[in-house]
Amino acid sequence: MKIKKVLTVFGIIVILAVLSGFIHSDDKIPEENKVKTEVNDQSATTVQTEKSQVNTLDAREGIERFFSFTGFANATWGHIIMIVVGLVFIFLAIRFDYEPLLLIPIGVGVLIGNIPFMLDAGLQIGVYEDGSVMNYLYYGVRYGIYPPLIFLGIGAMTDFSSLISNPRLMLLGAAAQVGIFITFLGALTLGFHPAEAGAIGIIGGADGPTAIFLSSKLANGLNVIGQTALGDPIYVKNLIGPIAIAAYSYMALVPVIQPPIMKLLTNEKERVIRMKPPRSVTKLEKILFPIIGLLLTGFISPSSLPLLGMLFFGNILKESGVTRRLAETSRNALIDIVTIVLGITVGASTQADVFLTSESILIFILGALSFMVATAGGIIFAKVMNLFLAKDNKINPLVGAAGVSAVPDSARVVQNEGLKADPSNHLLMHAMAPNVSGVIGSAVAAGILLSFLL
């Protein structure tokens, strides 16, 4: 036990001696080393200070960079105006039920297309930026892919019985196309290139898919229409967005635009004319009509085949009775999907920096005049036809207003105006004849313009 105590005490003494040596060695450090140590300490402090300043600058630059990418930093009055336009479209669709299947997708598309972002930053957001999702979806608009698919669905929905039973009403649909050619001349007068004028004129048909199809061929921003003095190419303006928005806007506003014109051009006596009920149509007639129509319109205007070919194909699916699944898909799932994508991309194409131009304002003015002239053309031609018809076989002039291609909205407007004049006079079935013939007529007119102007 004593030996262990001695060893323990000895160990403690050794430890204390060692610690004492270290303490004294620190006291004996030369002054030079102390100076060096102080300098090193000061340098370390300086470096740490500089690092903290750099970190502060990096944080500030990061915040500034983040803000520069936000919509708040890139917003302009143009973006605000277009966002308001998109909200108005959505409001009209929900509050007044104006073509909600079209105006809501378009309205949301306008909002998407006008969220401000930094241009040329490689973000791949905008509909006009290569590689963006919206740009890929817009491909179907720019190259006219979506309109034929829309026509396929329309064909699978349409019943041509009223037109087959009373073929003379097809003339009213043809007469309403006068608005297209008058607007074409007006656009030429205002200085638009013939290709651009042709695309603008088609708005008078009140047929959105046809307007998109023709503008994608004639006013797409890709076609060369001349050269500068230096030999550089001059491209046609890209008017797809303004033309599509104008066409769909006037389609939605059919219940607002047409009634005043109908009342102005007809009197009370004409509005109460009763037309003979349409005869029944056989299944064979329903099957033969789209086949004959396809061949006839194709030979008259081959350029209209992408539209009318799909229209009559869809109708054959419907009337054949043996392709119900295909007909159901065409008039439901397919047309709904295409309508969604078409509406979103057309709306997104209205970026403020592209859409808000003097040309867009002129297009909307010309489009309104075109639609009014088309409505008036159908009504006036019906009154002219009545001059040569027997008293018991007259046409109610209101039916002529349905000659525009807004199916079935124009026919519904005719029905409503007819009921106001005579609550027992139902004109819907009669109005459907010029209405569906207007679809065919506007597509033929588009084909004629395309063959002359492309």
80 phi, psi to nearest 5 deg: -60, -45
Q: Which of 26-35, 238-247, 316-325 has the lowest mean pLDDT?
A: 26-35
Separation between Cα atoms, residue 161 and residue 165, nearest integer Å: 6
The model's pLDDT over 348-396, given as tens digits with 9 standing for 90+, comes to 999 888 888 888 889 999 988 888 999 999 999 999 999 998 888 899 9
Highest mean pLDDT pick, 28-32, 86-90, 248-252: 86-90
Separation between Cα atoms, residue 418 and residue 398, nearest integer Å: 7
Instruction: Please name the residue ranges forming H helices in 146-280.
Output: 146-157, 161-165, 170-175, 178-189, 194-201, 208-218, 240-252, 254-265, 268-271
- pLDDT confidence of residue 29: 43
pTM: 0.83
- pLDDT confidence of residue 23: 43
Highest mean pLDDT pick, 11-15, 58-62, 422-426: 422-426
Separation between Cα atoms, residue 179 and residue 370, nearest integer Å: 5
- pLDDT confidence of residue 220: 87
Q: Which of 122-136, 262-276, 309-323 has the lowest mean pLDDT?
A: 122-136
Listed residue (406, 363, 25) closest to 248, CA to CA: 406
The CA-based diameter of the chain, rounded to the nearest angstrom, is 146
What SS3 state is found at 226? strand
205 half-sphere exposure, CB direction, 13 A CA radius:
34
The model's pLDDT over 95-113, given as tens digits with 9 standing for 90+, comes to 988 889 999 999 999 999 9
- pLDDT confidence of residue 35: 44
Of residues 42 and 179, more confidently modeled: 179
Of residues 73 and 190, more confidently modeled: 190
**Is pLDDT of 166 > 70?**
yes
Separation between Cα atoms, residue 333 and residue 338, nearest integer Å: 9
- pLDDT confidence of residue 392: 85
Amino acid identity, position 194? P
What SS3 state is found at 175? helix
Separation between Cα atoms, residue 339 and residue 283, nearest integer Å: 30
- pLDDT confidence of residue 3: 54
When pLDDT is cut at 50, 70 and 90, the band that residue 49 belongs to is: low
Q: Which residues of 286-303 are buried (b: 16+ CB within 10 A; e: fewer)?
A: bbebbeebbeebbeebeb
- pLDDT confidence of residue 437: 93
Separation between Cα atoms, residue 341 and residue 343, nearest integer Å: 6
The model's pLDDT over 67-84, given as tens digits with 9 standing for 90+, comes to 777 878 888 899 999 999
**Is pLDDT of 36 > 70?**
no
Tokens matching residue 320: 């054949």
224 DSSP β-pair partners: 235
Q: How large is the average pLDDT for residues 298-308?
A: 93
When pLDDT is cut at 50, 70 and 90, the band that residue 64 belongs to is: confident
Q: What is the mean pLDDT of the chain?
A: 85
- pLDDT confidence of residue 452: 87
**Is pLDDT of 10 > 70?**
no
Of residues 48 and 196, more confidently modeled: 196
Tell the residue number behind the tokens 């740009």, with chain if given. 135
Helices (H) and strands (E) in the chain, counts: 23, 2
When pLDDT is cut at 50, 70 and 90, the band that residue 43 belongs to is: low
Q: Which of 29-43, 140-154, 266-280, 312-326 has the lowest mean pLDDT?
A: 29-43
